[in-house]
């Protein structure tokens, strides 16, 4: 029988979210129903509410989640009820040209559940990033469930489902930070601080955190930044060069997603250095750079989708590091809240008051 549960809905662009009854169907072939235990409040959910990602309203928000498998559909052989899982929004297909070349983190055909969750009147919902986890139970493709140790608290484990994995992976996977590197991270919210943590985990010798907010810079130091730059008071390009012998950083990670901060990242890297864009721009943003500078500085300009992660590889490994006290994921959780406090959490996030508010169900 379908489940009737409470979920957070964005009905129209810019409108405050509401808590409403959602109908979750029984899982079909290749699908699973997950009893959501915790879900982080991510900027992407706010982008959905503001119409920055699309206009397929109403949206069922929430995607950065962990929970327990409630039921599985026909043909699902690697999951069973009771499994503790982190939800991911890029379930690889295994058949596209990227997967067949052994690069599944670039999968060109990721998939979601075939069935739609609905409101009680039958209105179909668009699930944020194919998940929709501000919800007591959610329907996903079985491939969106990654099994990890149930010893990890759900409010910590779920953060790997989006923001923390995006930032940490931008450093470790996309930027290929290694021991001895100099790294600069521009923008020190949840994703940026995860990039700082990833650079520290990889053995970077110097990690320079850049932001306009001293509170965020203090958070970055807590995650391993060796130096901080308040870019409201100082030229970040000059400051990063000064801290790297006049050369610039080996890897610069842009975690804001704006043309002006990308230009800072571009000119703050060393010759043949790497820029990684992990901040998400909006559709109307444009970037202009002298093509001669792109040619003359060499190196690599990369974007990082989901930290170029492979959930089946990365999630269990990172949870294991957390359980061995080598990866302080719990430091990202500023507060735990109820489902009916998501709108308030959006305000705190927008004002930079929290790293992560996490809905605990």
Token pair belonging to 90: 């890029």
Find the mean pLDDT for residues 10-14.
96
- Whether the per-residue pLDDT at 1 is higher than 90: the answer is no
Average pLDDT, integer, range 184-206: 98
Please identify which residue in the block is written with the tokens 């590197």.
181
Q: Give the C-alpha separation, 95 to 73, whole Å.
A: 21
- Tell me how far apart the alpha carbons of residues 166 and 190 are, in angstroms, rounded to a whole number: 10
Per-residue confidence at 201, pLDDT binned at 50, 70, 90?
Answer: very high
SS3 content of the chain, % helix, strand, coil (to 5): 30, 25, 40
Is the pLDDT assigned to residue 283 strictly greater than 90?
Answer: no
With contact defined as beta carbons under 8 Å apart, do 310 and 92 qualify? yes
Does the CA dihedral 139-5-127-320 come out positive or negative?
Answer: negative
Distance of CA 350 to the CA centre of its chain: 16
pLDDT of residue 173: 98
The string of pLDDT tens digits covering residues 32-47 is 999 999 999 999 999 9
316, 165 Cβ separation under 8 angstroms: no
284: tokens are: 């109307």
Residue 52: pLDDT band with limits 50, 70, 90: confident
Mean pLDDT score across all residues of the chain: 97
User: If pLDDT is split at 50, 70 and 90, which confidence band does 297 have?
Assistant: very high
């Amino acid at each position: 029988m379908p489940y009737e549960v409470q979920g957070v809905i964005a009905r129209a662009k810019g409108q405050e979210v509401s808590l409403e009854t959602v109908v979750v169907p029984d899982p079909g072939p290749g699908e699973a129903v997950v009893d959501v235990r915790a879900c982080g409040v991510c900027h992407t959910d706010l982008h959905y509410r503001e119409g920055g990602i699309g206009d397929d309203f109403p949206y069922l928000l929430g995607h950065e989640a962990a929970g327990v498998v409630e039921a599985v559909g026909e043909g699902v052989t690697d999951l069973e009820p009771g499994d503790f899982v982190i939800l991911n929004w890029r379930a690889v297909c295994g058949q596209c040209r990227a997967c067949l070349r052994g690069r599944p983190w670039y999968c060109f055909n990721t998939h979601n559940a075939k069935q739609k969750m609905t409101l009680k009147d039958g209105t179909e919902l668009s699930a944020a990033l194919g998940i929709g986890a501000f919800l007591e139970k959610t329907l996903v493709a079985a491939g969106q469930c990654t099994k990890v140790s149930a010893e990890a608290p759900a409010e910590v484990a779920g953060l790997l489902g989006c923001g923390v994995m995006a930032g940490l992976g931008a450093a470790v996977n996309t930027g290929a930070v290694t021991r001895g590197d100099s790294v600069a991270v521009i923008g020190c919210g949840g994703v940026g601080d995860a990039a700082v943590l990833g650079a520290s985990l990889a053995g970077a010798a110097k990690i320079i955190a850049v932001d306009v907010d001293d509170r965020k810079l203090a958070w970055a130091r807590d995650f391993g930044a060796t130096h901080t730059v308040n870019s409201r008071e100082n030229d970040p390009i000059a400051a990063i060069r000064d801290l790297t012998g006049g050369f610039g950083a080996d890897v610069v990670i842009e975690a804001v997603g704006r043309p002006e901060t990308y230009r800072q990242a571009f000119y703050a890297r060393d010759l043949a250095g790497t820029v990684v864009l992990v901040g998400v721009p909006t559709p109307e943003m444009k970037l202009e750079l002298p093509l001669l500078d792109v040619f003359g500085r060499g190196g690599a300009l990369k974007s990082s989708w989901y930290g170029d992660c492979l959930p089946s590889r990365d999630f269990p490994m990172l949870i294991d590091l957390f359980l061995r006290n080598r990866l302080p994921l719990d430091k990202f959780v500023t507060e735990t809240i109820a489902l009916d406090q998501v709108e308030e959490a959006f305000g705190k996030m927008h004002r930079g008051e929290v790293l992560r508010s996490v809905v605990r169900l």
